[in-house]
Chains A and B, each alone.
Chain A
């Protein structure tokens, strides 16, 4: 096949040619913008976190308290409480039932809070703190009495400018003997980390 013949194969009749340049230009622009938005959102989107204790075993449950500049958000655990309740005697069952109901109400209030969950912080109240500590102690002692593997402890997540609420709680805790046997952990949190409330409480 001669060069002339091969060249002739590419010779076509004059017809309407559509330039792909505008299409490619728009396409690449859209792609670039989408990628940019994707990268940007992956940096700025809040990361949902849940606090757990290091070396935590199955029966140890965290009572999470997030300390923010405007106050605290408490996330009480209800996991395993029904199982604990089942092994207790009638009087103790009632005690645990009251605690479960209070905690479920608290969690429901947080879940139904409209707006950013981080705005749900409330000023720590001394009586509330004392009640919380007393409940945790009661549950731990009931579990111990029933020889049931269950232990609650408190984990603090400290957001920037959140130290005042934390210090207030620790000050109150130092006033009561109820806190003596309760383990405590704390961790600094960045402001773009948010708490997770979507996990439904286990029965």
Chain B
């Protein structure tokens, strides 16, 4: 040991550098705690575009083919369960329906294992992306029913992330989108405005180029220190 070069200088430099780094980290942490992020939120607006409905749950997104959906609902509506205002199968990707006097037909998503995962949007060819690509921005907009139930260990609603990602993709294609949160107590429903004033589906997202857009997920969200 006696023949070794002294480590004093090295230790000195290392401890000084590390000390400064720790001070920076602490300052940064304090600064971060005082930071307020501004979330830019799009406003709902009237439109002549027609809605294409989606359900987002458990990181999956299902496009609702309203023709098939309502054809199935009509055929099931005469069943005993439907007449008694109990849940009945819509025979459409595991969706269950219920006749509601105020909101027309309400539907519930239970089993989502057959639904496409939202990550499929990143694939060049996938059923989800293909159905999104079919939307015509001059005639249609996307309307999402987003499940807000929280899974164990997650900080986000079960459909939130899928909705955000799908919305971003639609925005890059200049397709407007709107949404509403749903769960088993406040189920999704599709009805006509003539039926109830609550039956309104409006886009709240401005379709446009992605360069001028703001992202809302926690990684990319537009952040501005306003303090």
Chain A residues in contact with chain B, CB under 8 A? 10, 12, 17, 19-20, 23-24, 27, 31, 34-35, 38, 41-42, 45, 47-56, 67, 153, 155, 157-164, 166-167, 170-171, 174-175, 183-193, 196, 198-199
Contacts and interface: CB of A to CB of B under 8 A. Distances in A.
Contacts of A161: 148-150, 157, 183
Contact of B41 (A38, A54, A160, A198): A54
Interface string B151-185: 00011110010011000000000000001111101
Given A34-B22, A35-B25, A48-B36, A162 B42 contact: no
A195 B32 CA distance: 15
Contacts of B25: 34-35, 38
Contact of A199 (B1, B36, B39, B44): B36
A192 B36 contact: no
Where chain A touches its partner, the secondary structure class is: mixed
A167 B1 contact: no
B33 A45 contact: yes
Nearest to A55: B206
B148 A184 contact: no
Interface string B175-218: 00001111101100000000011100000101000000010101
Contacts, number: 150
17 contacts: A27-B15, A38-B26, A45-B33, A49-B36, A52-B41, A54-B40, A67-B181, A155-B41, A158-B148, A160-B148, A160-B157, A161-B157, A164-B185, A164-B186, A185-B204, A188-B148, A188-B164
A26 to B, nearest CB: 11
Contact of A50 (B26, B38, B197): B38
Given A45-B33, A54-B41, A54-B42, 11 more contacts: A20-B8, A47-B218, A51-B39, A52-B41, A67-B181, A162-B148, A167-B180, A174-B198, A188-B164, A190-B155, A190-B156
A185 B227 CA distance: 24
B43 interface: yes
Given A38-B25, A167-B186, A50 B36 contact: yes
Contacts of A189: 39
B44 A184 contact: yes
Contacts of A17: 1-2
Contact of B155 (A163, A191, A198): A191
Contact of B218 (A159, A174, A190): A190
